[in-house]
Structure 1
């Protein structure tokens, strides 16, 4: 399919999506019926709308094969269930982005795989932390607090930072950190090799596994068994150490694992 054909197909499908989203009743009916089928009385009680309004919305959804009536109960068709699943993802993605809009608006997202961007909703419970003029190291200090109690870390490290390396080496030497996996660029690997201390403490440490990649990736991801953190680069190419996303929930850890695995 050519780009033009793809755009035409998307425009065609957008009309259907717009038809759903421009009606509060149609949208609410799909969301209400997502978990299980309901009769008119149940729908009226949940939606707090008159029967005539609900029946009109149901008829509209029946006409486009998203809802069907089985005896006295209304339920989603297979098409309706698939559409509503993605509708929920759209709402959750919007919510996740809106909660941390300063973070997402200010940064280069080009190195985050498209599939991961589609699943930003998994970060909906993440906390946005930024440095202030009165505390320029706030984000960095939060990061150090996070990693200080971890026994295992996996890190996509896109910068050569002596400050970060020294803290990590300290945790390795104290035996607090028992396992470290690093994904770094070949350029950063070369710089580490040229530093005798970092070469010995990181590259020759049996607790450290290093994988180098050719690309200078613009994602700083860290995750362990109970937290994940993400920092990014400004759109002008400079690394931003003043803003960080932190999360501890299962969904965020799943997102971090998938991102790490896809680099």
Structure 2
């Protein structure tokens, strides 16, 4: 007889079925449709899971047992994280992940479906068009700027002037650069009631983040501490919540300046 770990990790169909049933009980027809497989191909995985008491059949529906739910709830975050890392293992292997608190590292799988933005040389210092468009349609923006890009400053000033709520965390070098060379934009932002500016001071540099009610853009430095213009872009709700939690982590270690 297989162990519980073998039951879920040694069969893709058993694993996906258990994760599907986390959403609630399903009929055989619903399982077929949502998993995109024939019921015939699922008969053996269902039988195997029933034999070790991970699921049962009742009132025409398949349901996780108490043990099955416990196993699936603990296994899914691990599986989701592995899926995220597998998509671009070379990217993740070269990131400085120490800037992400452990509790959010354990939730890395919430980034889910994302795109890795790698601009061409001619577009290296410009924001992706879809990001600019989404910023103009966002109702609220939370952002950490740990490296200076004048595009952000001009866009944030523009959208804030239209009433968009903006919470901005700046590292000290970025704040000093704005004060020295962009005094007009700084003064304009500080006058608006819908804008809050915070200064982050610590020994290490946080990632740059833009998270709104529409998307997440995450810029992680590589292990050498450099920004290599490779960004993560996601529109999934779980990714937006993950990004907001990361922003709030750094906000807690910042002081308000405007």
Structures share fold, TM-score greater than 0.5 = yes
Deviation of 1:168 after TM superposition, in Å, equals 2.6
Moved more, 101-110 or 114-123: 101-110
Contact 2:94 2:222 in 1 (8 A): yes
Deviation of 1:198 after TM superposition, in Å, equals 4.1
Q: How does 1:87-106 map to 2 (within 5 A)?
A: 87-106=75-94
Contact 2:57 2:63 in 1 (8 A): yes
Aligned CA-pair RMSD? 3.7
Moved more, 149-158 or 188-197: 188-197
Q: Deviations over 1:110-142 (max 9, x none)?
A: 211222222223222222221124643565454
**Structure 1 residues 187 and 82: alpha-carbon distance in aligned structure 2, compared to 1, 3 A threshold:** same
Q: Determine if the alignment matches structure 1 residue 193 to structure 2 residue 182.
A: no
- Work out the CA distance in 2 between the residues paired with 1:218 and 1:77: 43
Q: Determine if the alignment matches structure 1 residue 243 to structure 2 residue 230.
A: yes
SS in structure 1 of the partner of residue 223 of structure 2: coil
- Work out the CA distance in 1 between the residues paired with 2:147 and 2:39: 52
Moved more, 25-34 or 253-262: 25-34
Q: Deviations over 1:83-122 (max 9, x none)?
A: 1122233323322333344543342222112222222232
Q: How does 1:63-102 map to 2 (within 5 A)?
A: 66=54, 76-102=64-90
Give the alignment partner of residue 180 of structure 1, picking from 148, 166, 170: 166
Deviation of 1:197 after TM superposition, in Å, equals 2.9
Give the alignment partner of residue 221 of structure 2, picking from 233, 249, 260: 233
Q: Hey, what does 2:241 align to over in structure 1?
A: 254
Structure 1: stretches of 5+ with no match in the other structure? 1-14
Pairs aligned (count): 238
Q: Hey, what does 1:36 align to over in structure 2?
A: 25
Deviation of 1:58 after TM superposition, in Å, equals 3.9
Q: Deviations over 1:149-173 (max 9, x none)?
A: 334321011123334323333444x
- Work out the CA distance in 2 between the residues paired with 1:200 and 1:90: 46
Contact 2:25 2:61 in 1 (8 A): no
Q: Hey, what does 1:46 align to over in structure 2?
A: 39
Moved more, 227-236 or 70-79: 70-79
Q: Hey, what does 1:5 align to over in structure 2?
A: none
- Work out the CA distance in 1 between the residues paired with 2:112 and 2:194: 33
SS in structure 2 of the partner of residue 48 of structure 1: helix
SS in structure 2 of the partner of residue 199 of structure 1: helix
**Structure 1 residues 233 and 47: alpha-carbon distance in aligned structure 2, compared to 1, 3 A threshold:** farther
Q: Hey, what does 1:8 align to over in structure 2?
A: none
SS in structure 2 of the partner of residue 211 of structure 1: strand
Over alpha carbons, which structure has the higher Rg? Answer: 1
**Structure 1 residues 205 and 134: alpha-carbon distance in aligned structure 2, compared to 1, 3 A threshold:** closer
Q: Hey, what does 1:11 align to over in structure 2?
A: none
Deviation of 1:147 after TM superposition, in Å, equals 2.1
Q: Determine if the alignment matches structure 1 residue 164 to structure 2 residue 157.
A: no
- Work out the CA distance in 2 between the residues paired with 1:197 and 1:74: 63
Deviation of 1:237 after TM superposition, in Å, equals 0.4
TM-score of the superposition, structure 2-length normalised? 0.71
Contact 1:152 1:225 in 2 (8 A): yes
